[in-house]
Amino acid sequence: MCGIVGAIARPGHSIDPERLDRMNQSLEHRGPDGYGTWIAEDQAVGLGHRRLSILDLSPLGAQPMHSRSGRYVLTFNGEIYNFAELRDELEGSGYSFKGHSDTEVILGAFDVFGVAATLPRLQGMFALGIWDRKKNSLTLVRDRIGIKPLYYGSGPRGFCFGSELKPLMVWQGEVLPISSHGLTEFLRLGYVPAPLSIFEGIYKLMPGHSVVIQNGVLGSPTPFWELSEVIAGSRENQFETEKETLQILESALTESVASHMVADVPLGAFLSGGIDSSTVVALMQRQSTQPIRTFSIGFYEEGYNEAEHAAAIAKHLGTAHTELYITDREARDVIPDLPDMYDEPFADQSQIPTYLVSKLAREDVTVALSGDGGDELFGGYNRYIFVEQFWRRLSRLPVSLRRIIATALDLASPGSWDQVFRVIGLLSRGRMVPALPGQKIQKIASVLSCDSLLSLHSRLVSQWANPELVLQTKYQTKDVLLQKRLRTLGDLDSAEQQMYWDACTYMVDDVLTKVDRASMRVGLEARVPLLDHKVVELAWRIPLSMKLRNGQSKWILRQILYKHVPQHLIDRPKMGFSVPVDSWLRGGVKDWAESLIAMQRLSGDGFFAGPEIHRTWKAHQSGAISAGGQLWTLLMFQAWYEKTKKWL
């Protein structure tokens, strides 16, 4: 795993070697083992690379790397898991190699097959920048699933790209203007969804896409793989029997895990004790002659700790298990580092334990396998089951009637509803009153008015369902990215439709971004075998009835895991991998939070309108509502924006 950068100077200008070097050094954490830069003879284009050595630890694996023909120069971040097969094919045609890195194999394939014909042959996670001397063009490529990040954009100095935003800011030499659309979607979701970034004019390359800059002209991104097409094709080729499905899926998962275990450095795995990570570890251990190194983070707070479950599974499988229990204070101490770590505003609260477990693993290994992707592929989120049932009933009521009911419920504030329920409790002789009834009623009102499955899904995954309430006028926008980008695929059940939407947005821009930034912060390569594109394509051929069954999620994956781990160690309620932000904001980090959302500060920054924010803050502090997620989103932006000025 590595960090990549590059730039093309505007006509009449040249690449400044010192600036290119500073762009490269800004990604030192992604590649602590080495670095390199290359500038073309005419000084119009430059590439940079920070190296985390995984395969071919010798200087023969250093980048930027030139193809044998001299035509291509490559800076590459990621791993190609079928590089050995590609190498054999190329050697069979007479092509020779100096080292044994996957980077050299990619370049050999470019020489023999060409860039466009090579991309469908690559199996792995990758972000590439390829300079073609013959065509005077730069091609950027991102892997099919979006496991590895890639930003790009233009400015007064010319075109630039990088694994993170920091090098693009170094190239431009200034804090770039905030994108109103990017900020709106960040408030809504807690992350900035591709192709947007938080900066105006800077974009994320979409998964499975490439884009070409030729003679200084930026073309349109084009796909070489699209999930929607995979799903459409899977409808005609679905599995029919459970026996066949189990055999083929287990074989595919075993093969994927095996390919992800190839490394010239120490390797281990994250083990949360959940179904996904336990399946990956079980298949790793079955194929290893030595105990696999596994790592878990534990918390002393009840409701946030899965470490004891992970330890029981590790003991059963016979792994070399390491766990570290973190105090509330130790977890909070990570907060000041989050803006630098995540590079772009990011508000998934599990960012903290993800970093801590990455840091723990890096003490012993350089590569760690993760179970990410299982929820989106095999129906793991509780909302898939809930929405399936809820939407069926809700859609029977006319939208006009639902909106009338929602408006009526919204007439009273959460505090007023709380009072009503207290009276009901007294009149019914102490009958139990639900926690925060007023907030729950407002949530019910918000979903009653949804006029489509997509709007319901969007509402359920939102932090601020109406960002315009907290944005100053000039940053308001009615343009909702999810509504524009995501379409409803025909012949999909409501649960499958949600799985598709999550795979396109939440999985890529939240889950995979979280793991990438946290692991790369400590120079650890995280691999995700459940998201090998062959596994993804196979998973969409599995009928929903084999994923969700009798109110249970991931049925098919559980059947495979039960072969290796006793059922009683697995079957328990799903837990989130998170931290108690709600209570932190009322205690341990209250002063820090109040300083970031002080009225004077909000007015001075010019992004947020203070009254609604302070109303929410006060209601949270009083206990009338639990708004930790909403407030954390604002705080993560404020903390990030404060740090950006120090990156130049």
Quote the CA–CA distance of 238 and 228 in Å, as a whole number.
Answer: 15
2 is catalytic: yes
Residue 273 φ/ψ region, left for φ over 0, alpha for ψ in the -120 to 50 degree band, beta for the rest: left
Contact at 8 Å (CB) between 488 and 454?
Answer: yes
Provide the 10 A C-beta neighbour count for residue 426.
11
Q: How far, in Å, are 302, 332, 355, 387, 588 from residue 337 at the CA level?
A: 26, 10, 10, 37, 17
Beta bridge partners of 320: 293
DSSP 496-549: HHHHHHHHHTHIIIIIIHHHHHHHHHTT-EEE-GGG-HHHHHHHTTS-GGGTSB
Q: What is the dihedral of CA 151, 153, 157, 162, to 10 degrees?
A: 10
Instruction: Extract the tokens encoding 167.
Output: 């090098």
Quote the CA–CA distance of 483 and 427 in Å, as a whole number.
Answer: 45
Which residue carries 């315009």 as its tokens? 468
The total number of residues written for the chain in this structure: 648
Q: How far, in Å, are 49, 57, 70, 291, 493 from residue 37 at the CA level?
A: 6, 18, 16, 39, 50
Quote the CA–CA distance of 161 and 619 in Å, as a whole number.
Answer: 43
Contact at 8 Å (CB) between 330 and 324?
Answer: no
Q: How far, in Å, are 503, 572, 574, 578 from residue 485 at the CA level?
A: 13, 36, 30, 29
**What is the chain's percent helix, strand, coil content, to nearest 5?**
50, 15, 35
Quote the CA–CA distance of 175 and 305 in Å, as a whole number.
Answer: 40
Query: What type of residue is 75?
Result: T
Q: What is the dihedral of CA 511, 502, 178, 468, to 10 degrees?
A: -130
Quote the CA–CA distance of 228 and 591 in Å, as a whole number.
Answer: 46
Sequence-distant (6+) residues with CB within 8 A of 218 are 154, 159, 211
Contact at 8 Å (CB) between 136 and 121?
Answer: no
DSSP 373-428: THHHHHT-SHHHHHHHHHHHHHTTS-HHHHHHHHHHHHTS-HHHHHHHHHHHHHHT
Angle between helix axes 453-460 and 494-504 (nearest 10 degrees) is: 50
Query: Whose CA is closest to 140, among 56, 91, 241, 211?
Result: 211
Contact at 8 Å (CB) between 193 and 183?
Answer: no
Contact at 8 Å (CB) between 90 and 108?
Answer: yes
List the catalytic residues: 2
